[in-house]
Structure 1
Amino acid sequence: MVNPTIQRRRLGIALKRARENAGLTQDEAAEAIDSASSKISRIELGQSGLRSIDLTLLLRAYNVPDDVAVSMRELAKAGRQRGRWSNYREQLPSWFRTFVDLESDAAEIRQYQTEIIPGVLQTEAYVRAILTNGWSPDEAALAQQVDIRLKRQTILDGDVELAFVLSESVLRRMVGGPATMRAQMSHLVELSRRPAVTIQVLPFNAQTYVAPSFNFVILRFGPDSTTDVIYTESFTDADYLDRPDQVRAYTKLWDDLRAAAIGPAESRALIEQLGDLS
C-alpha cells in the first residue's frame, strides 16, 4: 500500500510547479480558495490534505490541462487517507511527521550527518542519552520518544537502500559516556555489514573542499528523480526541497561527499578503531 503522505507530496510538488508555471504567488493562489497563503504552503509541502472543491479551484486558477488534472485528482484522493505516523500527533511536530512518513516509504535514503549518529542507526542507550542531555523529561514521555525512534529503525529490515556519509566528528562526539559510545560503534560496524546499508566516513584529513556544516537527507521513491525530496532540519522546523535545480544541486553535493569520504571497508576499520573494538 502506498503511503498517503507520498501521494500528498507528489500532489504538492505538481501543484507548486503548476502555480509557478502560471506565474502566481502563494498569496495569489490562496485568494483562489479564499484562504491564507500558509495553507498553500502546507499543501505544497504535503503537510495538509485538500478538499475537492479547493483542488478544482486551484486547477482552474493554474490553467491545468484536463489530462493532467485527472492525475492530480487521483493523487488527492489517495492523499486523503491518514499517514501511518498520524497517531503520533502529540509526540511529533507536523513538520517531522511528514519526514518519518516519507522515510517509511522511500526506496532509497541518502544522508549526510555532521555531529550526531543518524536516528535510524542509534542504539537505545544512545537515543536515551540524546533525549536526556541537559534536562530530565517525564519518564513516560521519554519512553514514548525512545519507542518512536526505535520504530523508525524498522526500515533497516525492509527493501530500502540506505547510504550514509558521516563526518568524523560524528564518531568522536561523546554521547552518554564511553560505554554508550563503544556499544554504538559496535552497532555501526554490525549495520555496515548489511548489504543494503553503506556507511562512509568523511575524515578530518580528507583532501577536499566539500565539507558542508549542515545535515541533509535525500529521499528517493524510484528511478524517476522528479519525486525526490531533499530534507533539511533546523531546531524548530524543517525544509522540504523538491525543485529540479535543488534536487540536482544536492545530488551533486552528495556525489562529491561520497567521493571525498573513505570507502566502506576503511570506514568500518576507522569506526572499530575509534570505538576501541579491534
Structure 2
Amino acid sequence: MATPTIQRRRLGNALKRARDHANKTQDEAAVVIDAAASKISRLELGQSGIKLTDLALLLDLYGVSGEQADWMRDLARAGRQRGRWSGYRTVIPDWFRAYVDLEADASEIRWYQPEVVPGILQTESYIRAMNATAHPRITDEAVNRQVKVRLERQAVLDQPVTTLSFILSESALRRNIGDASIMQAQLIHLAEAAERPNVELQVLPFDAQTYGAAWIGFTILRFDHDATSDVVYVETYTDGDYLDSHDEVQAYTALWNRLQAAAMGQVESRNLIIRLADEKKARP
C-alpha cells in the first residue's frame, strides 16, 4: 500500500492537472477555499493534506466529477492518515520523514554517495560507529532507535520490483568508520548486496574523470517507472531538499549519467570491494 506521502503527491499532481485543464490560476483556486495561493502550491506539491470540504470546492471549480472525483477523494482520505514512520519523530527529523516514505514506495532509486556508505547498505556496527563519531553524547537508547529505523528501511532491498542503483566513491570504501573489523564486515556486506538481482553497484575510483559537482551526494527516486514523477533528494547536515521541477531533475539525471560513465563496471567494482575487505582482514 502506498504511503500517505505518495498519496498526497498523487493527489497534488491530479489537482494541478485539473486546474491547468480548467485554465484556473492558483490565486483563483485559493479564493474558493479562502486560503493563500501558497496553500494551493503546497497541496499541488504534495506537501500537505486537504480537507474533503476544500477538495469538494476545488473539484467544483475545476469541473471534475464522477469516477475521477471519487478517486481524488480516496487519495485525500489516504493522504491524511499517519505515515509508517510517524512513531519515530524523536529519531527521524521532519525534513527526512518524507524521504523514507518516498524511498519505501519508489520503483527505482539511484544513489550517489561520495563519502560514506548509503544508509540502506550499512551494517549495524557501521551505523553504531557513525553515530559514535558524529554524535559523541548520544545515549544508548537513541542509538538503538537509530539502528532500528535504519535496518527497517533496508527492507526495500528485498522488494524485487524495486531497482536499486548505487555509485559509491572509492573514498566511501576507504574511509574508516570504526575499526578495521567493522569496515571489513561492511565491505563484505556491500559485496554481497552487489550480487542481488535488483541491485547495481558501481565504484567511482580516485582516478576517474569526474566533474566539479561530484562531491555532492544525492538520490533520484522514480515511481511506477514514470520519469515524470522523479524526485531528487539532496541532504545537508541539518536539512534535506526535495527537487521535482523538470529542469532540476534533468540536471541531476545528467550528472548521474556522467558519474555512471566514469565509474567502474559492476564486476570490477565488486572485485575492488572484495580486495579492500581482504586488506582490512590482513591488518594486525
**TM score, norm. by length of structure 1:** 0.86
Aligned equivalents of 2:280, 2:193: Cα separation in 1: 15
In the other structure, the counterpart of 1:155 is: 156
Any conservation in 2 of the 1:210–1:260 contact (CA below 8 Å)?
A: no
SS of the counterpart of 1:135?
Answer: coil
Q: 1:183 to 1:36 in 2, by over 3 A?
A: farther
Which stretch of the first structure deviates more once superposed, 69-78 or 108-117?
69-78
1:78-109 per-position Cα deviation (integer Å, ceiling 9, x unaligned): 32333222222232122211111111121111
Aligned to 1:173: 175
Match of 2:78 in 1: 78
- Equivalence for 2:188: 186
1:207 shift after superposition: 2.5
Equivalent position of 2:122 in the other structure: 122
State percent identity of aligned pairs.
Answer: 55
Alignment of structure 1 residues 1-278 onto 2, 5 Å:
1-15=1-15, 24=25, 33-35=33-35, 39-40=39-40, 42-58=42-58, 63=62, 71-133=71-133, 134-159=135-160, 160-209=162-211, 212-275=214-277, 276=279
1:127-162 residue CA offsets vs partner (Å, 9 max, x unmatched): 011112141211111111111011111111122211
SS of residue paired to 1:83: coil
Shift of 1:186: 1.0
The alignment partner of 2:214 has SS state of coil
User: Which deviates the most, 70-79 or 81-90?
Assistant: 70-79
What are the Cα deviations for residues 21-66 of structure 1, in whole angstroms up to 9, with x where unaligned?
86856x88666544567655653443422111233445567x4655
Return closer, same or farther for 1:36/1:126 CA change in 2, 3 Å cut-off: farther
What residue ranges of structure 1 are gaps of 5+ in the alignment?
A: none
**What amino acid does structure 1 have at the position aligned with 2:143?**
L
Residues 211 and 238 of structure 1: CA distance in aligned 2, closer, same or farther (over 3 Å): closer
- RMSD over aligned CA atoms reads 2.8
SS at match of 2:83: coil
Paired residues in the alignment total 276
TM-score, normalised with respect to structure 2? 0.84
